[in-house]
C-alpha cells in the first residue's frame, strides 16, 4: 500500500491538515502570554550602564551580564491558587508586579562590590540591589534618619507611591566595617493576589547602606501554605518520573544494553565502531551546547575567583558531560542497533542506511519522508490534547512566552535546538523504543509467545516513556504520562514495521520545531541567519538523500544486503585456552622471574617497613582532641524524650522522632585554626565552636494532619555526653503569636542570653535587630557581638572575625539561641579563591580513576563473552558486596529518614531513597565483582612465595606506605584541626558500622589497585617496554586517587607525589612479581586505621567495631591471598 501514490497523497494532505490545525489552535491550546517586550538584551545593558554611572552604583570598572528571568514561584501560585492562567495574564497587564524582568549584573573580578539592576519587559526601571563589602566603612544613621532617607529617595528619585504601602518590617545591622545598614519592608494593603482568602501580598523592600539607598526591590510574599502544598503536589510528579527512571536503568540500560549486548557479543552480533562514532558525535554536540551557554553563566560567576577559573570550571564540566554522554550514547546505540538487527530481519540495517547505495533507495526515501509527514499528525495531536485538557478537563500547565530573549544571548542560538533534538531523537528512540521491543522479540523467540512478549514491551515502553517526562510542571501528576502514551504507541508501531529511521527523523524534527520556535517568532536584526541554520540542519536527512541520489544517479529498490536478514556474524573467535592472554614475547622472561625479588630488595623492603612503623608511631594521631560521644542513637532518643517532658512539652502519638549526629570540620573551624592556632581553637570549643552533638528531630508525617501543622518541628540538641544544649522550635508561618514591639522583644531576648550562655547583655554589643511580620504574629531575630570572650584579637592580615550570639523569637517565645564565630567575608572569598584551582585540578584528576574503572568494566564484559573470565569469583564477590551494601544502607537508615520532608508523602520519599541507594550500591558491587572476575584470569604468570615471605613483605610494604603518608601529612601545612570519624555513631548498630565500611574499602582498594597493576603489566609487557610512560601513568593515577582527600597543593604534592613514587617503587621491587602481596598491603593499611578508634573510642561501639574490623580484615586477606597463591602454584606448574 505504501508504494501507491494515493497513499502518499492522502498522507501529505493529512500532514498539511495537521499543521494547519496546530497553527490555528496553538494559541488556544497552550497557555501563552503576550509580553510588551520593548527592551532587548543590549538595550537593558546600555540602560543599566547609564543608571550605574548616574547614581554611582558599583565599581568604576565592571563587566556586564544579562538574563531575562521569570519569578516562577509567583506564577505557579497565581495560576494554581489565585485565579489560574487568566489571572496570571491579568497580572502581566497590571502595574502592581512584573514577574518577567530583565536582570543586568555589573561585576568585577576580585570585587565583592557589585550591582543587580532590573527592568520590566517594556524597559521601565524596576529596582536594583547594590552589594557592598561588609568591611566597607559608612555612616551610622538612626532608624528614623535612614527611613526618611529611604522614603525620600524612593519617592523623589524613583517615583514610588509609598501612600499605597504600609511599612510592616524594619531591621538594622552593624557591619564589621562600622557601617550600619537598615532594611525597610512595605506591603500593599490592597489589592491582594488572592482576595478570597486574603493571601499573596505585593511588597517593596528598601535598604539603606550607610547613608545611601543600596536596594529597591519589588516582590510577592507567597504564603508558606502554598510552598508546602506545591512540594506535596510536585512529589507525585517526581515519584512517577523516578520510578520510570528506575525501570529505564534496570531494564533498558542494565538488562537490554548491558546484559543484552553481553549475550550478543558472545555470538559476535555486536557492531561497536559506528555506535561509538555516533555516540561521540552526539556527546560532542551536547558539550558544545553547554559551552554555548557561557555568556549566561556569568550571571552566577563567583567574583572571588579569577575569571579564568570560571571559564576552566565550565570547560571541565563540559568535558565531564562529554564523557558521560559518550558512554551512555554509545552503549544505547550499540545495544539498540544490535538487538534490532537480530530481532527484526525485515528492517534495514541502521549503520548502512545513509550509505549512498542504500540512502538512494526508495525504502529509505519512504521512511525518511514518512518521518517528516508524521510531524503534522504529531503536532495536531499535541495541540488537540492540550486544547481538551485545558478547556474541558481543567488540567494545569504553566503559562509560557513564545519568545525568550535568553535564546539570543548565547553564541550560536541555533545550536541548542539542534543539539538537544538530535540527542533526544537518536537516544530516546534507541533506548525507549528499540531496546525494549527488540529485546522482547528476542526473548519471545527464545522462550515462546513472541507476540505476547512484544505486546507487553509495547505497553511497558509507552508507560515508561510517558512517566519519564512526568516531572514537568503539570497537574494532575499523570498529565504528561497520558499525553505521551499515544505518541509512544505511534512511535513504537512505526518502529516495529519500518525500523528506527522514521521515528528518529520524526522525533528529531518534532523537537526542533518546538525548541526553535522562539527563533522564528523573533524579529531581532540578524535573526534570519539562525533561522536559516535551523532550517538547513533540520533537513539534514533530506540533504543526505539528495546527495546519495546524485552519487548513484537514480532511485532504486533497496539492495538485499541492506536488510538485517542479510547480515550474519563472522565466525566467533575461538575461546582462549589459557587462563590468561599471553603478551610477552621474551621466552626467558618467566625464567628471569624465578629470581623474582632480589635478596637485597627483600631486606630493603623489610627495613623500610620497620622505618614506616616508627614513623607511624611517631607522627600518628592517637589522642582524640575532641570529646567522644558518650551515648548512642537509641539513648539520644530516650534523653530527648525525657528532656521534652521536663520542659512540659507534651507531643502526641503522631510525632515521630529521628536522630542525627552533628560534628565535623567546617569553615568556621578552619578559620579559627588558621587565624588563631591550635590552642585558640581548642579553647573556643563548646562555646563559639560546636562539639559533636546529637540532634533529635520531632516531626509529623501523617497525611491526615494539615500541611501547615506538619510544618511545626522540635529539634532537641544534645551534647556529646547527653546533656541538653538547646531546643529549637520551628513554627508554621500561620501560627498565632504575640506582636511585640522591638523593645518588648529585646526584653524577652536578654534573659535568654543569661539563661542559655550566662552572658550579661550589658557586656554585649547588639549589632542587628531583624523583624519578620507573619500573618498573625511578629518574629524577631537579635544578634549580639561578644568582644570580651573572643580569643582572636590580632592577626597578620587583620582578619580576626567576631564572636556572635543570635536569639530568635517567634511571637514572645524564644525558639532558638546559638553562638558562633562570624567568619569575615574577605577571608571566605580568599579561601574560595585559593581553593578554586585546587578544586579544578582535583576534579580533573578525579576523572582518571573513573575512566580506568570504566575501561575495566568494558574489558571485563568483553572478556566474559570470550570465555576469559572467572564467573565463580564474580558471583562470590557480587553476592558478598551486595549483602554488605544492603546491610550498610539498612544500618544507616536513621540518617536517611532524618532528612525526610513533612510536606511530601513518606512513601514517595522512601521510594526515592531506596531506589537511589539500590542503584548506586548494586552498580558499585557488580562493577567491582566484574573487575575481580577479570583480574582472576588476566594476571601474568608469577612464581610463588612462601606464606612467611609473602606475609612479611606485604606487611612491611603496608607499614612503609602508612608511615610515609602519615609523616608527609604531618609535615605538610595543617589547614584544619583533626576530628575522628564519627559516622558510625549514627547507625542502628555502631559496632558493625566499621566492619561494613572496612569490607567495602578493602575490596574497592584491592580491586582498583590490582586493575592498575595488571594494566601496567600489560602496558609495559611485564616491565620490558615503555617503562617511562608506564611510570608516569602510575604516578599520575595514584595522585588522582589520593587527590580527593587533600586540602592544599602542598599536600597534593607531598602526600600525593610521595605516595605515588612509593607505589612505583613497590611495583618495581615487588608487586610486578607477586600480586598476592597486594591484599596483604591493603589489609595492613586498613588494619592500622583501626588503631586510632581503638585507642580513642570516639563513640560507643567504636572500639569493639574496630576490633571486629581487624578480625574481618585478617580473614579476608587470608582468603584472598590463598586464592591468588593457589592460582600462582597452578601457573608455576604450567
pLDDT in tens, 315-352: 999 999 999 999 999 999 999 999 999 999 999 999 99
pLDDT value, residue 402:
80
pLDDT for residue 581 is more than 80: no
Q: How far apart are the first and last CA of the chain?
A: 67
Core vs surface per residue 312-351: b (16+ CB within 10 A) or e: bbbbbebebbbbebbbbbbbbbbbbbbbbbbbbeebbbbb
pLDDT value, residue 939:
59
What is the mean predicted confidence (pLDDT) over 121-132? 96
Please tell me the distance from the alpha carbon of residue 951 to that of residue 1076, in angstroms, as a whole number.
10
CB 663 within 8 A of CB 626: yes
pLDDT for residue 574 is more than 50: no
pLDDT in tens, 85-119: 889 999 998 889 999 999 999 999 999 999 999 99
pLDDT in tens, 376-389: 999 999 999 999 98
Please tell me the distance from the alpha carbon of residue 256 to that of residue 264, in angstroms, as a whole number.
11
pLDDT for residue 1033 is more than 80: yes
Residues above pLDDT 90, as percent of the chain:
76
Angle at 373 between CA 495 and CA 369, to 5 degrees: 75
Residue ranges in 360-516 assigned as alpha helix (H): 362-391, 413-423, 429, 435-447, 450-468, 479-498, 500-515
pLDDT value, residue 590:
42
Q: How many Cβ atoms are within 10 Å of 506's Cβ, its own excluded?
A: 24
CB 495 within 8 A of CB 431: no
CB 725 within 8 A of CB 719: yes
125-131 vs 777-785, strand pairing mode: unpaired
> Counting beta carbons within 10 angstroms of the beta carbon of residue 708, is it exposed (0 to 12), middle (13 to 18) or buried (19 or more)?
middle
Banded model confidence at residue 293, pLDDT cuts 50, 70, 90: very high
Residue ranges per structural domain of the chain: 54-227, 242-358+415-515+522-566, 600-618+841-1132, 654-670+689-829
- Nine cell digits for residue 165: 504601602
What is the mean predicted confidence (pLDDT) over 868-889? 90
32-33 vs 400-401, strand pairing mode: parallel
Identify the helix (H) or strand (E) that includes residue 747: helix 742-757
Phi, psi dihedral angles at 77 (to 5 degrees): -65, -45
pLDDT for residue 583 is more than 50: no
Instruction: Assign 244 to helix, strand or coil.
Output: helix
Question: Please, what is the average pLDDT of the chain?
Answer: 91
Please tell me the distance from the alpha carbon of residue 565 to that of residue 341, in angstroms, as a whole number.
8
What is the mean predicted confidence (pLDDT) over 27-38? 84
Banded model confidence at residue 587, pLDDT cuts 50, 70, 90: very low
pLDDT in tens, 702-761: 999 999 999 999 999 999 999 999 999 999 999 999 999 999 999 999 999 999 999 999
pLDDT in tens, 244-277: 999 999 999 999 999 999 999 988 899 999 999 9
pLDDT for residue 594 is more than 60: no
pLDDT for residue 1089 is more than 50: yes
pLDDT value, residue 125:
96
Task: 755-763: list long-range contacts, CB under 8 Å, 24+ apart.
Answer: 756/726, 756/817, 757/687, 757/805, 757/817, 757/819, 759/786, 759/789, 759/805, 763/788
Distances (CA, A) of 347 to 59, 76, 367, 445, 555: 65, 47, 11, 17, 19
pLDDT value, residue 2:
64
pLDDT for residue 589 is more than 80: no
pLDDT value, residue 1125:
64
- Nine cell digits for residue 736: 498565632
pLDDT value, residue 1133:
46
Q: Between 480 and 570, whose confidence is greater?
A: 480
Amino acid at each position: 500500500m505504501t508504494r501507491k501514490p494515493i497513499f502518499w497523497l492522502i498522507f501529505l494532505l493529512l500532514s498539511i491538515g495537521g499543521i494547519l490545525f496546530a497553527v490555528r489552535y496553538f494559541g488556544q491550546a497552550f497557555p501563552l502570554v503576550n509580553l510588551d517586550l520593548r527592551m532587548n538584551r543590549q538595550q537593558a545593558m546600555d540602560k543599566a550602564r547609564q543608571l550605574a554611572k548616574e547614581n554611582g552604583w558599583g565599581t568604576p570598572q565592571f563587566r556586564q551580564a544579562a538574563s531575562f528571568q521569570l519569578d516562577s514561584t509567583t506564577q505557579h501560585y497565581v495560576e494554581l491558587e489565585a485565579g489560574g492562567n487568566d489571572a496570571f495574564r491579568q497580572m502581566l497587564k497590571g502595574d502592581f508586579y512584573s514577574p518577567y524582568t530583565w536582570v543586568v549584573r555589573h561585576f568585577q573580578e576580585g570585587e565583592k562590590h557589585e550591582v543587580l539592576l532590573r527592568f520590566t519587559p517594556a524597559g521601565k526601571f524596576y529596582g536594583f540591589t547594590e552589594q557592598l563589602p561588609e568591611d566597607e566603612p559608612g555612616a551610622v544613621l538612626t532608624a528614623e534618619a535612614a527611613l526618611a532617607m529611604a522614603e525620600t529617595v524612593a519617592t523623589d528619585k524613583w517615583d514610588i507611591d509609598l501612600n499605597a504601602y504600609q511599612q510592616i518590617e524594619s531591621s538594622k545591622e552593624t557591619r564589621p566595617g562600622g557601617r550600619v545598614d537598615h532594611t525597610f519592608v512595605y506591603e500593599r494593603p490592597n489589592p491582594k493576589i488572592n482576595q478570597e482568602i486574603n493571601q499573596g501580598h505585593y511588597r517593596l523592600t528598601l535598604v539603606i547602606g550607610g547613608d545611601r539607598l543600596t536596594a529597591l526591590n519589588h516582590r510577592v510574599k507567597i504564603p508558606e501554605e502554598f510552598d508546602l502544598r506545591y512540594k506535596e503536589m510536585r512529589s507525585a510528579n517526581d515519584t512517577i518520573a523516578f520510578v520510570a527512571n528506575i525501570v529505564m536503568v534496570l531494564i533498558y540500560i542494565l538488562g537490554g544494553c548491558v546484559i543484552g549486548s553481553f549475550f550478543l557479543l558472545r555470538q559476535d552480533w555486536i557492531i561497536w565502531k559506528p555506535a561509538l562514532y555516533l555516540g561521540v558525535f552526539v556527546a560532542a554536540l551536547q558539550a558544545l551546547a553547554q559551552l554555548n551557554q557561557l555568556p549566561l553563566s556569568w550571571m552566577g560567576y563567583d567574583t572571588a575567583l579569577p575569571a579564568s577559573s570560571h571559564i576552566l570550571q565550565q570547560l571541565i564540566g563540559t568535558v565531564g558531560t562529554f564523557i558521560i554522554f559518550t558512554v551512555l550514547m554509545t552503549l544505547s546505540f550499540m545495544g539498540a542497533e544490535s538487538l534490532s538487527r537480530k530481532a527484526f530481519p525485515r528492517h534495514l540495517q541502521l549503520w548502512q542506511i545513509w550509505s549512498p547505495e542504500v540512502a538512494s533507495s526508495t525504502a529509505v526515501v519512504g521512511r525518511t519522508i514518512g518521518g517528516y509527514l508524521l510531524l503534522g499528525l504529531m503536532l495536531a495531536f499535541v495541540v488537540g490534547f492540550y486544547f481538551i485538557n485545558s478547556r474541558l478537563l481543567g488540567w494545569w500547565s504553566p503559562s509560557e512566552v513564545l519568545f525568550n530573549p535568553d535564546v539570543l544571548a548565547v553564541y550560536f542560538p541555533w545550536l541548542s535546538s539542534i543539539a538537544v533534538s538530535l540527542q533526544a531523537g537518536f537516544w530516546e528512540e534507541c533506548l525507549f523504543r528499540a531496546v525494549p521491543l527488540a529485546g522482547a522479540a528476542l526473548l519471545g523467540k527464545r522462550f515462546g509467545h513472541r507476540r505476547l512478549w512484544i505486546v507487553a514491551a509495547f505497553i511497558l515502553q509507552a508507560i515508561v516513556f510517558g512517566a519519564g517526562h512526568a516531572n514537568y510542571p503539570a497537574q494532575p501528576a499523570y498529565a504528561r504520562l497520558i499525553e505521551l502514551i499515544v505518541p509512544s504507541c505511534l512511535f513504537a508501531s512505526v518502529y516495529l514495521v519500518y525500523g528506527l529511521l522514521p521515528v528518529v527523523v520524526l522525533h528529531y524534527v518534532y523537537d526542533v520545531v518546538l525548541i526553535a520556535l522562539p527563533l522564528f517568532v523573533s524579529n531581532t536584526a540578524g535573526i534570519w541567519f539562525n533561522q536559516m541554520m535551523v532550517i538547513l540542519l533540520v533537513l539534514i536527512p533530506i540533504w543526505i538523500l539528495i546527495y546519495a541520489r546524485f552519487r548513484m544517479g537514480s532511485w532504486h529498490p533497496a539492495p538485499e544486503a541492506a536488510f538485517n536478514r542479510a547480515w550474519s556474524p563472522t565466525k566467533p573467535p575461538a575461546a582462549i585456552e589459557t587462563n590468561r592472554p599471553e603478551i610477552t614475547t621474551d621466552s626467558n622472561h618467566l625464567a628471569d622471574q624465578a629470581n623474582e625479588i632480589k635478596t637485597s630488595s627483600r631486606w630493603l623492603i623489610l627495613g623500610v617497613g620497620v622505618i614506616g612503623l616508627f614513623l607511624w608511631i611517631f607522627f600518628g594521631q592517637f589522642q582524640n582532641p575532641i570529646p567522644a560521644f558518650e551515648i548512642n542513637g537509641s539513648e539520644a532518643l530516650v534523653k530527648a524524650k525525657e528532656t521534652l517532658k521536663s520542659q512540659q512539652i507534651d507531643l502526641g502519638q503522631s510525632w515521630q522522632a529521628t536522630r542525627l549526629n552533628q560534628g565535623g570540620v567546617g569553615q568556621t573551624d578552619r578559620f579559627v585554626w588558621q587565624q588563631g592556632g591550635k590552642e585558640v581553637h581548642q579553647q573556643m570549643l563548646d562555646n563559639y565552636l560546636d562539639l559533636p552533638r546529637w540532634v533529635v528531630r520531632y516531626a509529623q508525617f501523617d497525611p491526615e494532619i494539615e500541611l501547615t501543622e506538619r510544618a511545626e518541628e522540635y529539634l532537641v540538641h544534645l551534647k556529646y555526653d547527653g546533656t541538653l544544649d538547646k531546643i529549637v522550635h520551628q513554627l508554621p508561618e500561620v501560627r498565632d503569636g504575640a506582636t511585640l514591639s522591638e523593645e518588648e522583644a529585646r526584653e524577652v531576648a536578654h534573659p535568654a542570653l543569661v539563661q542559655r550562655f550566662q552572658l550579661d547583655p550589658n557586656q554585649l554589643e547588639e549589632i542587628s535587630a531583624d523583624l519578620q511580620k507573619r500573618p498573625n504574629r511578629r518574629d524577631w531575630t537579635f544578634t549580639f557581638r561578644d568582644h570580651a570572650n573572643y580569643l582572636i584579637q590580632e592577626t597578620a592580615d587583620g582578619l580576626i572575625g567576631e564572636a556572635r550570639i543570635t536569639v530568635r523569637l517567634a511571637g514572645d517565645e524564644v525558639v532558638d539561641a546559638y553562638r558562633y564565630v562570624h567568619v569575615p567575608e574577605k577571608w571566605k572569598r580568599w579561601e574560595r579563591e585559593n581553593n578554586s584551582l585546587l578544586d579544578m585540578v582535583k576534579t580533573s584528576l578525579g576523572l582518571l580513576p573513573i575512566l580506568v574503572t570504566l575501561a575495566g568494566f568494558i574489558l571485563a564484559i568483553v572478556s566474559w563473552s570470550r570465555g576469559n573470565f572467572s564467573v565463580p569469583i564474580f558471583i562470590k564477590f557480587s553476592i558478598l558486596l551486595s549483602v554488605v551494601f544492603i546491610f550498610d544502607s539498612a544500618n544507616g537508615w536513621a540518617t536517611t529518614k532524618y532528612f525526610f520532608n513533612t510536606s511530601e508523602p513518606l512513601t514517595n520519599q522512601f521510594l526515592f531513597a531506596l531506589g537511589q541507594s539500590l542503584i548506586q550500591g548494586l552498580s558499585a558491587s557488580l562493577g567491582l565483582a566484574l573487575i575481580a572476575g577479570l583480574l582472576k584470569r588476566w594476571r601474568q604468570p608469577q612464581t610463588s612465595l612462601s606464606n612467611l615471605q609473602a606475609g612479611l613483605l606485604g606487611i612491611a610494604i603496608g607499614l612503609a606506605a602508612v608511615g610515609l603518608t602519615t609523616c608527609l601529612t604531618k609535615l605538610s601545612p595543617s589547614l584544619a584541626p583533626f576530628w575522628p570519624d564519627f559516622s558510625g555513631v549514627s547507625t542502628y548498630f555502631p559496632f558493625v558500622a566499621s566492619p561494613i565500611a572496612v569490607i567495602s574499602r578493602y575490596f574497592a582498594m584491592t580491586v582498583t589497585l590490582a586493575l592498575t597493576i595488571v594494566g601496567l603489566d600489560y602496558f609495559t609487557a611485564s616491565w620490558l617496554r615503555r617503562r617511562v610512560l608506564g611510570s608516569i601513568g602510575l604516578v599520575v593515577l595514584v595522585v588522582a586517587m589520593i587527590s580527593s582527600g587533600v586540602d592544599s597543593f602542598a599536600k597534593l604534592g607531598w602526600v600525593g607525589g610521595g605516595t605515588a613514587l612509593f607505589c612505583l617503587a613497590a611495583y618495581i621491587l615487588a608487586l610486578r612479581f607477586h600480586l598476592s602481596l597486594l591484599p596483604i598491603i591493603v589489609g595492613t593499611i586498613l588494619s592500622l586505621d583501626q588503631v586510632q578508634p581503638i585507642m580513642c573510642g570516639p563513640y560507643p561501639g567504636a572500639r569493639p567495631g574496630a576490633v571486629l574490623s581487624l578480625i574481618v580484615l585478617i580473614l579476608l586477606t587470608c582468603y584472598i591471598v590463598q586464592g591468588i597463591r593457589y592460582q600462582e602454584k597452578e601457573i608455576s606448574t604450567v
